[in-house]
Chain A
Amino acid sequence: MLEIKNLNVTVEEKQILKNLNLNIGKGEVHAIMGPNGSGKSTIAHTLAGKPNYNVDSGEVNLNGEDLLSKDPYERSLNGLFLAFQYPIELPGVTNASYLKQIVNAHRKSRKETPIDAGEFLKILKEKSKLLDIPMDMHSRFVNAGFSGGEKKKNEVLQMDLLNPSLIIMDETDSGLDVDALKTTADAINKLRNDERSFIIITHYLRLLEYIEPDYVHVFQNGSVIETGDKTLASRIDQEGYS
């Protein structure tokens, strides 16, 4: 599904990722843990194609295609989804209108007709219910004035609507209280299947107690220094990174 080979990335003239190698198979859930500044979010933004994240060398293939040569929007249309740590506010655009537009962008790339308004509302109701999102949230402007929990749930809602093959979650657990974390994790677990892979970036064990990873990688200085199963996350939680 995803192959990262010898990836070197510089941000604002500072090298962050150093000869990073990572392989993620279909249906696998990989957790990335590591101290602040170790490059966890950099890998997320690099894969999504954020401007100013300069790839100095290396290769990334997603579903057999060169990911790095694609524009950010093409990466999304090719099945990559990044759930932001700090979701962006978009004043003046209602959440419902925004969600419909991103759904239609994906439908258009598949040469499908725009979604019918009634059908979209029905899907939105169903998927919002799974996440305990009240429908009136969709009348508000995108993420503007949303609580931390609402923003993160809105990210999970988008990943559900867009049906990606690779989901990168950049500290989705931050800003969630215990109940919201469980609701969000339940919704994410419903998205797990044999074709869809996850990269879960987190500082804490608690999300991984709900979403069980197949592999846990520890980042330090822009590289993977240790890989293990879910017990590695428990050890880090108890002993720290040092």
Chain B
Amino acid sequence: MKTLTPSIMELTDNFSIETNSMDLSISHEIINDELKLKITANYSQIPSRIKLISSNRSNFKIIADIYLNENATLEIIDENDYIIDTSFIFKSFLASRSVLELYRFNKFQSDTNNSFVHTCNMSNGSIFKDFNFTNGSDFTNNETKINLNEENAKYVGSGVVMSNSSKCENNLEIRHLSKSAVSDCSFKAVTRGSSNVSFKGKVFVDENCSNTQSNQISKGLLIDEESKINLTPILEINNDDVVCSHGAASGKADEEVLFYLASRGISKSEAERIYIQGFLSEFIEKIEDAEMQAKGQNFINENC
């Protein structure tokens, strides 16, 4: 586990950043109530970590430009329970062999609107690990666009959405623009109340991109009759030398599983909770960082 030194930068009265590293450069300005951030990470022996801290005083919009220089590793963690509207617009650039890890564990108050838009450009051998855990909010929009611009770039992403009488739109576009790049994406949603969750996952493989590997899976679990889940995988492949797979499935809880749990003394409500917990935890091992994996598991356990 990496140690955070007590270094907190108060950027506004509503928003702070906690950092652990001297190898980070962070500048900011406020223009028309928008907080503009510029973050540059350089190589350091201990990976750099940034923790976003919201005081939840008022709605905010953050526009962040994030640069990772060669061999830099940066973790960004957003572990806030938001009771206000939020809007994040991230643009990141990953230089050769750099690693960006983005972890979001967010509970949103039901009457808020929240948007997260991220465009990531990736260079040779860079890695982006992108994990998002979301619960609640009247409206949530997640939009991520990944450009695997150079060889051996790798994107690993996983989204977990627990929706309670809310609308949640998720769009992920992964563009393989150079050979030998890898993308691996999983999305899981559980809907309750009159929720409406959509996931559109597009994988584009350009014609020169031989030795491409891409895997995408999306699954939805409908807990009641009123909820809707719309999963749309799209593959556009322009090269024959690729290994690409995709799968999408949604449905209700498996009665056979619920009966199996009941036959062991588990009540119906508890069986449903275990079922949902298992459904959402299926890909938790994709998170290699033990501390972050535990946070993800706790988020699922607490919100099932």
Contacts and interface: CB of A to CB of B under 8 A. Distances in A.
Nearest to B260: A88
Interface stretch (B61-69, B206-214, B276-284): B276-284
Interface in A60-116: 71-73, 75-77, 81-82, 84, 87-88, 90-93, 98, 101-102, 105-106, 109
Nearest to A72: B262
Interface residues of A, number: 29
B262 A71 contact: yes
B260 A84 contact: yes
Interface in B258-287: 259-268, 270-271, 274-275, 277-282, 284
A158 interface: yes
A88 B257 contact: yes
Contacts of A109: 265
A50 interface: yes
Nearest to A107: B265
Interface of B is mostly: helix
Contact of B277 (A51, A72, A92, A162): A92
Contacts of B33: none
A90 B272 CA distance: 12
Contacts of A105: 264-267, 270
Contacts of A82: 263
A76 B281 contact: no
A50 B256 CA distance: 9
A92 B266 contact: no
A158 B264 CA distance: 8
B255 interface: yes
Interface in A161-220: 162
Nearest to A168: B263
Contacts of A102: 264-266
5 contacts: A49-B262, A72-B263, A87-B260, A92-B277, A93-B281
